[in-house]
Amino acid sequence: KANRRLKVFRARFSALSYQDVSRALMNLQRPDERASIAVDARMELDLRLGAAFTRFNTLCAKRNRILGLLDGGENGGERRERGR
């Protein structure tokens, strides 16, 4: 169960400098639900775009036979063991 009497505050700062963090701790604010939703949306977009970009790069590398050369795959010959 949630404790509805619990008071929650947030320290808002954008840099990890002593001045910014100290100022934020001296000016605690109530959490903003809309800002929290916006952060969730940015994280979701970042995850999806990152996955798409990684997939795109992988497909391009495979198409250009770069991955096979790097990891000893189908076009790269035998896989070499470390230290040999």
For each of the chain's 84 residues, which pLDDT tens digit applies?
A: 889 999 999 999 999 999 999 999 999 999 999 999 999 999 999 999 999 999 999 888 888 877 666 665 554 444 555 555
State how far the Cα of 53 lies from the Cα of 60, in Å rounded to an integer: 11
Tokens of 37: 């939703």
Beta-bridge mates of residue 10: 29
pTM higher than 0.75 for the full model?
no
